[in-house]
Amino acid sequence: MASDVLSRGIRLLRDPHRNKSTAFTQAEREQLGLLGLVPEGVDTEETQLRRVLLQLGQKTTDLERYIYLSALQDNDETLYYKTLMSDPEHFMPLVYTPTVGEACQKYGHILRRPRGLYLSINRRGRVRELLRNWPEQDIRFAVVTDGERILGLGDLGVNGMGIPVGKLALYTACAGVPPQVTLPITLDVGTNNETLLADPLYLGLRQPRVRGKEYDAFLEEFVTAVQEVFPRCCIQFEDFANFHAVPLLARYRDRVCCYNDDIQGTAAVAVAGISAALRILGTGWKDQTFLFLGAGSAGTGIAELICLAMTRDGLALEEARQRCWLVDVNGLIESSRTDLADFQKPFAHAHAPLRGFLAAVEAIRPTGIIGVSTVPKLFDQPVIEAMARINERPIIFPYSNPTSRSECTAEEAYKWSQGRAIFASGSPFPPVQYGGKTFVPGQGNNVYIFPALGLAIYATQARRVTDELFLCAATSVAEQVTQANLDMGLIYPPQSDILNTSIQVATRVAELIFERGLAGVPRPADVGDFIQSKLYRPEYHSAV
């Protein structure tokens, strides 16, 4: 009997969902076989948080802090989220970009405990069985990657698991989505990264990536199995290569509840930033022209949502598309080119061939440039100076992640534009002093979009995710930017208040889900109160 009680206490301490560590009360310790297994003192949650912050402060690098926080998540989930939600602006860069990029590169070297599901293509025909190995039965969100295009770092194979893990942590920390309904998944179809294949600590299949019909069949089995095992689950496709990302979204968006954050989430956060920038400019969507550096799924996804916003401002769709231009490694996307993918062709306008981004800026004369190239420093001084010559207030959005891949820094954009740039980047930059003024760079982080969208989908049990929902989310984010924010150059709401921002966005999106008949539950009398009732809060509950 005594050994049974002891094992019960040990099991409890090893369960991150129920573990309270040193915060178990004396009564809980007596009844649950915990006496002697924890120190005699009983901590408050605030004391536990102080200890975590002290220990984090003793780490010397962000990667060490990432590893510490990962271990905390494995040990005490409530304390982990209490830590993140105590200062989201500080902790988001540690659990996601930019630190997660380094963590993914070294994933097999820093692994403490596997997290999530690893679905190998060698297990074809058994995906349902593997999904049922997950202990939770009511999964509402599965963030899935095949690891081929991790941030701007390329093919990292199963090392890319850091991305689904990090994304789902932000679902909870930034929007209160309960962590138990989330599931990170990596599809292991091999890797073409020779460095990883030669690394004895690499954790995935040691073979080249599977392509073609075999890959498509595996994805079909996966999507079908998720619908069967977790019928209320929304699938978020993450960091797939362009030639897979666009077809996957097209294939499944009208069949199941799914979306691609790299395409649609990035588009929404860009539209939110532009919406706020237009308040500074005092102009409308139909007065803008945008030039993209990068013509992959992210660039075309942003362009498509911009066009939807422009149609709301009175332009016909074709007129709107004429105001979006893209440049890739081979130059301007224009109608004479024969090397274009289908998803690029709507933006292949009649124009003489052009090589080089600066030449495109001079010819197109855009009001804004958006970088999604993952190639650093291509928004160089001549480009920024040209934008500042063409526009009184040029829109400069280097969105590539992580920081090392950004097309320019905030300091460069402000300096080379004489402080006139309206700036936002994909990764964070510190405040910039220029001309006697302090500029606070905006971060066009998808965290303003996908957690709030997730909260709305979770609450309403939405059956589909449409582009209109993303435009609604973008509009709501922009509306929360104050004049004081704009005066200091900040075109997104402060990340320090991200939970309240997400709640307001989720409420707006949920209202639209109900209006469009996409919800799986009846509409409540007060949607705002309904959203509030669904929030996860990082608080311990009685264990007895």
As given in the structure block, the two tokens for residue 163 are 């991305």
pLDDT at 373: 94
Residues 519 and 413 in one domain: no
Residue 281 included in any domain: yes
Q: Give, as one character, the DSSP assignment of residue 265.
A: I
Residues 413 and 355 in one domain: yes
pLDDT at 2: 47
Judged against a pLDDT cut of 60, whether residue 279 lies above it is answered with yes
SS3 assignment, position 68: helix
Residues 227 and 322 in one domain: no
pLDDT at 542: 85
The residue among 399, 414, 444 that closes a domain is 444
163-191 b/e with 16+ CB inside 10 Å = b?
bbbbbbbbbbbbbbbbbebbbbbbbbbbb
Angle between the N-to-C axes of helices 242-252 and 297-312, in degrees from 0 to 180, rounded to the nearest 10: 50
Distance from the Cα of residue 230 to its chain's centroid? 22
Residues 303 and 436 in one domain: yes
Q: What is the average per-residue pLDDT within 498-514?
A: 98
The residue among 409, 444, 479 that closes a domain is 444
pLDDT digit string, tens, across residues 17-60: 999 999 999 999 999 999 999 999 999 999 999 999 999 999 99
Judged against a pLDDT cut of 50, whether residue 5 lies above it is answered with no
SS3 assignment, position 231: coil
Residues 120 and 169 in one domain: yes
Judged against a pLDDT cut of 70, whether residue 3 lies above it is answered with no
Contact 105, 63 (CB under 8 A): no
Residue 13 included in any domain: no
Residues 468 and 439 in one domain: no
pLDDT at 132: 98
The residue among 204, 238, 256 that closes a domain is 256
Residues 436 and 520 in one domain: no
- Domain of 522: which CATH number? 3.40.50.10380
pLDDT at 488: 84
Residues 463 and 396 in one domain: no
Beta carbons within 8 Å of 397's beta carbon, 6+ residues apart: 270, 273, 368, 369, 370, 371, 423, 424, 425, 444
pLDDT at 217: 98
Average pLDDT, the chain: 95
| Distances 203 to 72, 130, 237 between C-alpha atoms, Å | 22, 18, 21
pLDDT digit string, tens, across residues 140-179: 999 999 999 998 899 999 999 999 999 999 999 999 999 9
* Structural domains of the chain, count: 3
Residue 492 included in any domain: yes
Residue 2 included in any domain: no
Q: Which residues are catalytic?
A: 96, 167
pLDDT at 7: 72
Residues 287 and 398 in one domain: yes
Residue 69 included in any domain: no
Residue 56 included in any domain: no
Higher-pLDDT residue of 98 and 307 is 307
Residues 274 and 409 in one domain: yes
pLDDT digit string, tens, across residues 329-342: 999 999 999 999 99
Judged against a pLDDT cut of 80, whether residue 1 lies above it is answered with no
Percent of the chain with pLDDT over 90: 93
Residue 3 included in any domain: no
Residues 115 and 196 in one domain: yes
- Domain of 287: which CATH number? 3.40.50.720
Phi-psi region of 399 (alpha: psi -120 to 50; beta: other; left: phi over 0): alpha
| CA nearest neighbour of 419 among 427, 407, 410, 428 | 410
pLDDT digit string, tens, across residues 240-266: 998 999 999 999 999 999 999 999 999
Residues 275 and 244 in one domain: no
The reply to whether the predicted model has a pTM over 0.85 is yes
Q: Which helix (H) or strand (E) holds 370?
A: strand 368-371
SS3 assignment, position 424: strand
- Peptide bond before residue 402 is cis, with ω within 30 degrees of 0: yes
Confidence of residue 403 (pLDDT cuts 50, 70, 90): confident
Q: Which helix (H) or strand (E) holds 432?
A: strand 432-434
Range of the domain at 431: 264-444
| CA nearest neighbour of 191 among 179, 177, 202, 201 | 202
Looking at the DSSP assignment, which residues form a beta bridge with residue 433?
Answer: 438
pLDDT at 402: 81
Residue 413 included in any domain: yes
pLDDT digit string, tens, across residues 205-221: 999 999 999 999 999 99
